[in-house]
A and B are shown apart, each in its own frame.
Chain A
Amino acid sequence: EPEVTQTPSHQVTQMGQEVILHCVPISNHLYFYWYRQILGQKVEFLVSFYNNEISEKSEIFDDQFSVERPDGSNFTLKIRSTKLEDSAMYFCASGGRDRYHYEQYFGPGTRLTVT
């Protein structure tokens, strides 16, 4: 069964450093998403991506964040200058051919620890 994969599973970085989180969505999906979950808190939407551009983003997704689909399979989230409060689980998800009628499938997440 197809699944969303994410690497690395755990990333430790120092405050101010740049990190790139990697995701491989399900191959025939067209919509891609990033979410984060701070320990013990709700899942929060960051950004959705379709047709090589951002379709929607939340207030959390400020200039420190960017997303890219560098090739036909990968989908990345970059945080330019990490802060302590960026420590969280980051989940990638992919959906079907439109935003509204297809399930979202989540990856296992990357735990980001900023020290």
Chain B
Amino acid sequence: KQEVTQIPAALSVPEGENLVLNCSFTDSAIYNLQWFRQDPGKGLTSLLLIQSSQREQTSGRLNASLDKSSGRSTLYIAASQPGDSATYLCAVKESGFGAGTRLTVKP
């Protein structure tokens, strides 16, 4: 059974900092990995999808990497802003969601 772990569980940084969120998974036989953000009481917003054949994907200030063999993905957020404050989730196929990293960016 796929287990997905996200570290840290919570992170608080001052505005402008670059930061890295981590996601690890136990079964490397994945098709893709998707990063989401979730605002309190809201649904999930897709940020990036990385196919298993890719090493990284970029969208604006976000960069996600994937190392399938080691079972790891990272989400890099450059020049963080208070509006980035949310919970960030990684998901490996349907059945493998991490518990998320709750990010707070302080003005």
Which of A's residues lie within 8 Å of B, judged by CB?
Answer: 33, 35, 41-45, 48, 56, 58, 91, 93, 99-109
Query: Quick one: given A43-B89, A100-B32, are A109 and B94 in contact (CB under 8 Å)?
Result: no
Residues of chain A lying within 8 A (CB to CB) of residue B32 = 100-101
Closest to B95 in A: A45
Contact A42 B94 (CB under 8 A): no
| A105 contact from B46, B89, B93, Cβ within 8 A | B46
Residues of chain B lying within 8 A (CB to CB) of residue A107 = 43
Residues of chain B lying within 8 A (CB to CB) of residue A33 = 94
Query: Quick one: given A109-B42, A109-B43, are A44 and B97 in contact (CB under 8 Å)?
Result: yes
| B46 contact from A41, A42, A48, A104, Cβ within 8 A | A104
Residues of chain A lying within 8 A (CB to CB) of residue B89 = 43
**Known A101-B32, A106-B43; 9 more pairs at CB < 8 Å:** A33-B94, A42-B97, A42-B99, A43-B89, A43-B97, A45-B95, A48-B94, A107-B43, A108-B43
| A106 contact from B31, B44, B51, B98, Cβ within 8 A | B44
What is the CA–CA distance of A44 and B42 in the complex, to the nearest angstrom?
Answer: 15
Instruction: Kindly state whether residue B34 has any CB partner on chain A within 8 Å.
Output: yes
Residues of chain B lying within 8 A (CB to CB) of residue A56 = 94
Residues of chain B lying within 8 A (CB to CB) of residue A101 = 31-32, 51
Closest to B32 in A: A100
A-contact 0/1 string along B19-60, CB 8 Å cutoff = 000000000000110101000001111100101000000000
Contact A106 B46 (CB under 8 A): yes
What is the CA–CA distance of A106 and B94 in the complex, to the nearest angstrom?
Answer: 12
Closest to A44 in B: B97
What is the CA–CA distance of A102 and B49 in the complex, to the nearest angstrom?
Answer: 8
